[in-house]
Structure 1
Amino acid sequence: MNDWHSWAAVAVFAGTYALIISEKVHRVAAALGGAAAMLLVGATDDTSAFYSVDSGIDWNVIFLLMGMMMIVGVLKRTGLFEYLAIWSVKKARARPFRVMVMLIVITATASALLDNVTTVLLVAPVTLLICERLALPAAPFLIAEVFASNIGGIATLVGDPPNIIIGSRAGLTFNDFLVHLAPLAAVLVLVLIGLARVLFRATFVHDADRAAEVMALDEREAIRDPRMLAQGLAVLALVIAGFVLHPVLDFAPSIVALLGAGLLVAISNADTGEVLTEVEWPTLAFFAGLFVMIGGLIDTGVIGQVSDALADAVGDKEFGGSMLMLGASGVLSGVVDNIPYVATMAPVTADLVHHLGGDADHVMWWALAAGADLGGNATAIGASANVVVLGIAERARQPISFWQFTRYGLVVTAATIAVSAFYLWLRYFAL
């Protein structure tokens, strides 16, 4: 890095990251300040920040989130989440650990069919209501769901945005991901359940009186507007179908979400202003700032140099290279958002696969996908779902600090990366 712009970009990113970690400055203010600093030092410019596909704000992510937040805002007014909360608690017999297991399995499964951000947007409100009913702290349940969403997202092409980038670059299909990574995701969900039992053991306090109160409730009485509920569920089903059929319809997920939100607001009697108040605007602003900062690292060549160094280290060592790819992706995706990381690494990985003489479904691609998706669990800003849930928790006045999330995330990431390394070795080298 001979260009002073590169060093300036690294300094801005490191300083902003330190502010976010210290929590002395609100993360939104830190991210927007960091973005402004990137522009001031010339690491990026307005054209790159607002219009570049490679290094600018990912508007697909921003508008996907906004559209789904609007849909969730309408559904919240129907009483659906109260219904699901009571139903879930009753099925789990109001036992906290059983409730967490149920939420982990539901979240992981849904994240394989939807993207993980959409999943946590739907599950988090239910979780907050469950914890309120049972007088439990919401943070452990929300954190476990984030882990489950990132793990479940490994399983399919549409489960996590980095997978879509990898699939497009490598020519991999929905079924390719299902065959190669779904078994790993299933194993990792079991690992997560075991870890949750240990990490959050202080949370699983059964309150018999609270449990009895919830068990006596009739969940059907929670539905306040059956007509709006039917409209909301119909639109949500169409949106989910649009996500799944993305390769056929060729509509970006953001377009599908916005069309769904617009349709639902138009056909329901929901007040547009009230629906817009449900949008987590600070979360969207945080993403915008983060994208601009990472774009500065891309434009100045910092991330590219890191990628090239990784490629040089791999050489022609297939096993060592895949393990290095898995580990490095896990570490780097915990520091920078995994979407721009994978966008930068995809061409490097393609060159490696070509050099090694591998097919489209080469182990190197699966190492990149697993490392990037699982590495997102390491820190509070490692993946989009993490940031969204932190925003929801803060709005519900149950904030989750950077270190509260990260001290669990580092353990889960280390364990899941280790299991993934064993899986890759066993499937692609030992057998």
Structure 2
Amino acid sequence: MNNWQAWAALAVFAGAYVLIITEWVHRVAAALGGAALMLALRATDDESAFFSTDSGIDWNVIFLLMGMMMIVGVLRRTGVFEYLAIWAVKRAKARPFRVMAMLVVITALASALLDNVTTVLLVAPVTLLICDRLRLKAAPFLIAEVLASNIGGTATLVGDPPNIIIASRAGLTFNDFLVHLAPLAVVLTAALVLICRLLFRGFFVHDEDRAQEVMSLSEREAVHDPRLLTQGLAVLALVIAGFVLHPVVHYAPSVVALLGAGLLVAVSKVEVKDVLAEVEWPTLAFFAGLFVMVGALIETGVIATVSQALAHATGGNALGSVMALLGASSVLSAIVDNIPYVATMAPITSDLVHTVGEPHGVVLWWALALGADLGGNATAIGASANVVVLGIAERNRQPITFWTFTRYGLPVTAVTIAISALYLWLRYFAFA
């Protein structure tokens, strides 16, 4: 950071971040305005912002979101989300905490098989309908689900985009993630359910009349377009198969989502303009602006400077390196999106792995994954799934502010990082 552009980029990012968290202006305006200033100051350029895989807009994320939003938009027309909402409420006996616990577990499990963004896109509409039926505030349920999605996503290679970056750099397999991180994800999900019982205890108001009314409904009657439902579920099944079989078919998730969306639009009779109307365009614009701003921090060396300072501070000590990387990653991933952060930190972690050596070097990769995935829960812009849920909530007139999310996300992050630190110490150092 020995040039004026680095300091200017840092100032622009800090200013945009303040505007986002204070909500003095809409977060989309803040992100796009910050991106425009980065380009005007030449902290980044059009080549880096639009075409670079390291410091540009992650088009895979943008098009994955767009494709899945289109598929979800078509499915919404079938009544399937009403069906699932009634089914879930009945199984939980219409008790609010039981409903939340069920949704948290389902979300965490689904996020291990799909990516966390796809999961929240599918679960959020069901949640909004459940809360509407039971006259409950949707914000606590949506926040709990997005926290669960980021926790569940740590379990597998495909669960969270940073894991894919780490696997590629470190040569790790799907089974490596399953063996080393899935057991911890189960523990963290159970801990989240208990934490939610405390954090949201004031929202679990049981309305007996509303509960009885919902319990008397027939979920089968909610489906009003069986043919479209069959088409939509068939395409969704193909898309999920494409996600899971990524190591075999080698199609990026974004390509799979767009192929699925195109196929569904082609085989169904839904108007293209109606499908495109379901896309959360402000959310996609926010992501684009955020990627450009973070890319400018990468281009000017700001993130590399911070990451290298971490590498030097650890001094090659195995346990110290693991804990420092876990803690620093959780903090930095709360401030910037965890995808560009991991892309920047991966080569530095690789150097640390060689410095630490066997048998503890590989533990650094698990520390990076856990810090990035779980640290994303701390703030509203820490992970892609968080931003998507905030967009959905705003569109459905159930807005969640930056500070509302942070008030619940920060303590969950602190607890889950503490449990993760204990897990890493016990498994790889104390009883290795």
**TM-score (normalizing by structure 2):** 0.99
Q: Is the 2:318–2:360 contact (alpha carbons within 8 Å) kept by the matching residues of 1?
A: no
Q: Measure, in 2, the Cα distance between the counterparts of 1:32 and 1:8.
A: 16
Q: Measure, in 1, the Cα distance between the counterparts of 2:179 and 2:96.
A: 34
Q: Is the 2:156–2:174 contact (alpha carbons within 8 Å) kept by the matching residues of 1?
A: yes
1:289-336 C-alpha deviation (Å, 9 max, x unpaired): 000000000000000111111110122100011000000000000000
Question: What's the offset of the Cα at 1:247?
Answer: 1.1
Amino acid at match of 1:90: K
1:324-380 C-alpha deviation (Å, 9 max, x unpaired): 000000000000000000000100111111111236971100000000000000000
Report the equivalent of 1:198: 198
Report the equivalent of 1:281: 281
Report the equivalent of 1:35: 35
- 1:263 pairs with 2:271: no
Q: Measure, in 1, the Cα distance between the counterparts of 2:379 and 2:226.
A: 40
Report the equivalent of 2:159: 159
Amino acid at match of 1:193: V
Q: Measure, in 2, the Cα distance between the counterparts of 1:148 and 1:270.
A: 33
Query: Unmatched 5+ residue regions in structure 2?
Result: none
Q: Measure, in 2, the Cα distance between the counterparts of 1:271 and 1:361.
A: 54
Question: What's the offset of the Cα at 1:111?
Answer: 0.1
Name the SS of the counterpart of 1:351 in structure 2: helix
Report the equivalent of 1:298: 298
Report the equivalent of 1:23: 23
Amino acid at match of 2:72: V
Query: Unmatched 5+ residue regions in structure 1?
Result: none
Q: How does 1:387-402 map to 2 (within 5 A)?
A: 387-402=387-402
Q: Is the 1:170–1:360 contact (alpha carbons within 8 Å) kept by the matching residues of 2?
A: no
Q: Measure, in 2, the Cα distance between the counterparts of 1:143 and 1:358.
A: 39
Amino acid at match of 1:120: V
Supply the RMSD in Å over aligned alpha carbons. 0.8
Q: Measure, in 2, the Cα distance between the counterparts of 1:232 and 1:164.
A: 27
Q: Is the 1:44–1:295 contact (alpha carbons within 8 Å) kept by the matching residues of 2?
A: yes
Amino acid at match of 2:423: Y
Aligned residues: 431
Question: What's the offset of the Cα at 1:270?
Answer: 1.2
Question: What's the offset of the Cα at 1:143?
Answer: 0.1
Amino acid at match of 1:91: R
Amino acid at match of 1:241: A
Name the SS of the counterpart of 2:269 in structure 1: coil
Report the equivalent of 2:355: 355
Report the equivalent of 1:414: 414
Q: Measure, in 1, the Cα distance between the counterparts of 2:99 and 2:46.
A: 47
Question: What's the offset of the Cα at 1:173?
Answer: 0.4
Report the equivalent of 1:95: 95
Amino acid at match of 1:15: G
Q: Is the 2:353–2:361 contact (alpha carbons within 8 Å) kept by the matching residues of 1?
A: no
Q: How does 1:334-345 map to 2 (within 5 A)?
A: 334-345=334-345
- 1:324 pairs with 2:328: no
Report the equivalent of 1:128: 128
Q: Is the 1:337–1:376 contact (alpha carbons within 8 Å) kept by the matching residues of 2?
A: yes
Report the equivalent of 1:137: 137
Amino acid at match of 1:136: L
Q: Measure, in 2, the Cα distance between the counterparts of 1:2 and 1:274.
A: 51
Amino acid at match of 1:207: D
Name the SS of the counterpart of 1:64 in structure 2: helix
Q: Is the 1:105–1:148 contact (alpha carbons within 8 Å) kept by the matching residues of 2?
A: yes
Q: Is the 1:116–1:149 contact (alpha carbons within 8 Å) kept by the matching residues of 2?
A: yes
1:143-167 C-alpha deviation (Å, 9 max, x unpaired): 0000000000000000000000000
Q: Measure, in 2, the Cα distance between the counterparts of 1:369 and 1:430.
A: 21
Q: How does 1:230-269 map to 2 (within 5 A)?
A: 230-269=230-269
Question: What's the offset of the Cα at 1:90?
Answer: 0.3
Q: Measure, in 1, the Cα distance between the counterparts of 2:394 and 2:356.
A: 47
Report the equivalent of 1:63: 63
Name the SS of the counterpart of 1:380 in structure 2: coil
Q: Measure, in 1, the Cα distance between the counterparts of 2:43 and 2:359.
A: 37
Report the equivalent of 1:174: 174
